[in-house]
Structure formats: structure tokens, C-alpha cells
Amino acid sequence: MRSVVVMRAVVCGVVSVVALVGCGESTEGVGSPTASKAADDIFNPCRGALSDDALRGAGLNPATKRVTTDPPTGASSWRICNWAPLDDRAEIGKRRVAILSTSHTLAETRTKESAINIRDTTVNARPGLVSQERNDPDSCYVSFEAEQGMFEIKVGWLSTEGPRVGDTCEMAATFAAALEPQLPK
């Protein structure tokens, strides 16, 4: 019973932290999401909006879906789910690929204090950024514009042990290019 209570506390803490990401004072010239964005206003990759065929076509295993952030009711500026790649093999290292759907913008990512190694890119025809997080430099994000704000594709290693073959930024760019046509403009 005690472990269930502790687990619930940890999960609630993580959800609270994720919900606060990007919050803070406004900076002139930096777009910020509006409080009026309802949960249904941002694309939800977690609840069947991407077909199994679309996920497989992008190189992801639909059977491995894990929900990171998807509140069942109410507004949310983030909806995040992740999957294992179809080519996940022990000899190259275990990875997860997350699709982050958000009302936050590329401009906010550029000014985010925890973002490092930021560089411009394009994902198919959409303007985007490649970045990493200071506290997780082994993962990489490829972010690209959307009317709702942006989408981010994150590739990260599951373990610091064992092989880690390949560059997570290159992998994230490949998955982003494959997933972009399936995501709303």
C-alpha cells in the first residue's frame, strides 16, 4: 500500500513539473500560448490520432506506446506519447521516440534557459530547430512549426549502459521527417 502512495506522489510530481515547463514571465517578442487553448485544440498523438500504419511507416512500433502526458480532461498545453523504434535492437542500444504536441512555440524554445546546442533546421518544408536539454544531453529534440504552436520529436536512450550506436539528433531528424506529413500544419 505504501509503495502505491509513493508511486502516486512521484507520478503527480512529474505531471506537475511537465505542466509547468515553459511557464514564467513573458518576454517581449516571444509568443506565449493562450490560456484559452482547450485540450481539444492541440493534436493528441496519444489517443488514436496517428494510425498504426502511420506509426509503422515512420519506423515506430505501435504496440510499445507509453503515455507521458495526456490529462484525461481539461486543457493541456502538452500531449506526449512515446514508442520504441521498429529497429530497436540490443546491439545498437534501446531508444524511445516521443511525439510532443504543444501550444508552445519555436520562439519559446529559442529562449528556454535549459535548451542547449540550438540550431535551425527544416522538417520537410516547415521551419524548425534542433536542440538538447542541459539535464539530458544524450537525448535530442527536433521541433517544427504548427498552427497550434509546434511539434517536437525526441529521441533518447533508455539506459546509460550498453551500446549506444548513432546520433540521437540525426535519428530525431529522420523520425521527424517521416512523421511530419501525419501531423497537422
Query: Residue 108 is inside which H or E element, if any?
Result: helix 106-111
Q: Residue 76: which domain range? A: 36-182
- The residue ranges of the chain whose pLDDT is under 70 are 1-40
Domain contains 108: yes
Domain contains 44: yes
pLDDT computed for residue 74 by the predictor: 80
Among 131, 129, 105, residue whose Cα is nearest residue 117 = 131
Domain contains 14: no
Domain contains 66: yes
The count of domains in the chain is 1
pLDDT computed for residue 72 by the predictor: 87
Write out the three cell numbers for 151.
Answer: 511539434
Query: Would residue 83 be called left, alpha or beta, if left means φ above 0 and alpha means ψ between -120 and 50 degrees?
Result: beta
Write out the three cell numbers for 8.
Answer: 502516486
pLDDT computed for residue 8 by the predictor: 41
Specify the pTM: 0.78
Domain contains 10: no
